Chain A
Amino acid sequence: MASLKDLRNRIASVKATQKITKAMQMVAAAKLRRAQEAAEAARPYSERMGAVLANITQAIGGGGDAPALMTGTGRDDVHLLIVCTAERGLCGGFNSQIARLARDHIRKLLADGKQVKIICVGKKGFDILRRDYGSLILERVDLREVKTLGFANADAIARKVINLFNQNGFDVCTLFYSQFKSVISQIPTAQQVIPAAQAPAAAETSNGATAVYEYEPEPGEILSDLIPRNIAVQIFRALLENAAGEMGAKMSAMDNATRNAGDMINRLSITYNRQRQAQITKELIEIISGAEAL
């Protein structure tokens, strides 16, 4: 049985832990707000980009001059997976959920006899996937030093991917990230980036009927510039959603931890008080029986 002193020490240490988790929860809440704002600020760009893209694709009409990035290589033998996770842990099942989705995907592809390559963005996903599929990981992008996620970060990743594509490094590229639904719910998602998933034909611009555009320079040329940029935008969006999701997950994880610590303190306090009472009673009995013996 633990002594009173041991119990006191344990209570003190749990209290210290509770303070830390509480602080982490508050930090995550503040960061979550910022991350959400950033995700919202980026939304207009990706929406307009989608509209412009839909417009141009319509103009080209799936003609032969559509760039390979959009139509793909026509094969699907080599798959590239970009797995975006957080840099830090302590955010519940956030990272493992994304990694699990990626792992299921990898297993299925390998069973079908496809070749798989992986680019890990974020340390945690790398740590998890390294165990089973270390040999498949091409590269790991480290964003730990990055304070605020900028478009430049996403652009750098996109450029790597496009370079690899141009060297015939892969046929299909899929992006894994976590969609931010709310603070308590993040949905791990797989999104195909290359070849671009066909935009729904009904994607009319907000101006109703699609106008007949003049293009400067040729539509094909614009498109070949637009598609890489669109890939960067998609990666950027994934990173922002991930950042918001990570903070949301961390907030609820730390909230749980704080509550658990509170429960533990209560339980330990009860044990402590009981034991103290037992000891007092025992001492009283000793004194009384000592007095009676006289």
Chain B
Amino acid sequence: MAEAFKFELVSPERLLVSEQVDSVVIPGAEGEMTVLAQHAPVMTMIKPGVVTVKTAAGKEERYVVFGGFADILPSGCTLLAESAVAVGDIDRADLARRIQEAREDAADAKDDEGRAKAEQFLSQLTTLEGALLPA
């Protein structure tokens, strides 16, 4: 049995999760990472993806997040998501709309840097869609 720690998932609109968990998988900007208790302090950006939470009670919950930050301390982990929804509640149409927007952003990007950024974001979104569709 792993040691439990406090995990909070917050979006601007509300506090989604605040409970004791065993582990959390975060889609970090530079790769996925699993956070356990006593993790070294890390602050990372997160990319669109799925956060998997294993609660201390042994349940597994999954949330879709669209970008944000994770603030990890040995005593706990706070995830500030730009927007977050439980995987069960994800709205396909909304996801499709975001992809469409990202595609348009990539198309109207003025410079190379902007286009690269937009395209990266777009590919993250499409990967996310691919990961969710069979669910």
Residues of A near any B CB (own CB < 8 A): 38, 41-42, 44-46, 48-49, 51-52, 55-56, 150-151, 154, 207, 211-217, 219, 221-222, 225-226, 229, 232-233, 236
Contact = CB atoms under 8 A, between A and B. Distances in A.
B45 A49 contact: no
Interface in B34-56: 40-45
Q: Please classify the interface of chain A as helix (H, G, I), strand (E, B), loop, or mixed, using the class held by over half of its residues.
A: helix
Contacts of B80: 45, 48-49, 52
Contacts of A212: 41
B13 A38 contact: yes
Query: Lowest 5 A-B CB distances belong to which pairs?
Result: A151-B12, A41-B14, A211-B41, A216-B44, A213-B41
B20 interface: no
A174 B86 CA distance: 36
The residue in B8, B10, B40 that gathers the most chain A C-beta atoms within 10 A of its C-beta is B10
Interface of B: 8, 10-15, 28-30, 40-45, 69, 71, 73-75, 78, 80, 82-83
A45 B12 contact: yes
Contacts of B69: 52, 222, 226
B105 to A, nearest CB: 11
Contacts of B12: 42, 45-46, 151, 154, 232-233, 236
Contact of B13 (A41, A215, A221): A41
A44 B13 CA distance: 9
Given A52-B71, A213-B43, A214-B42, A41 B29 contact: no
Contacts of A38: 13
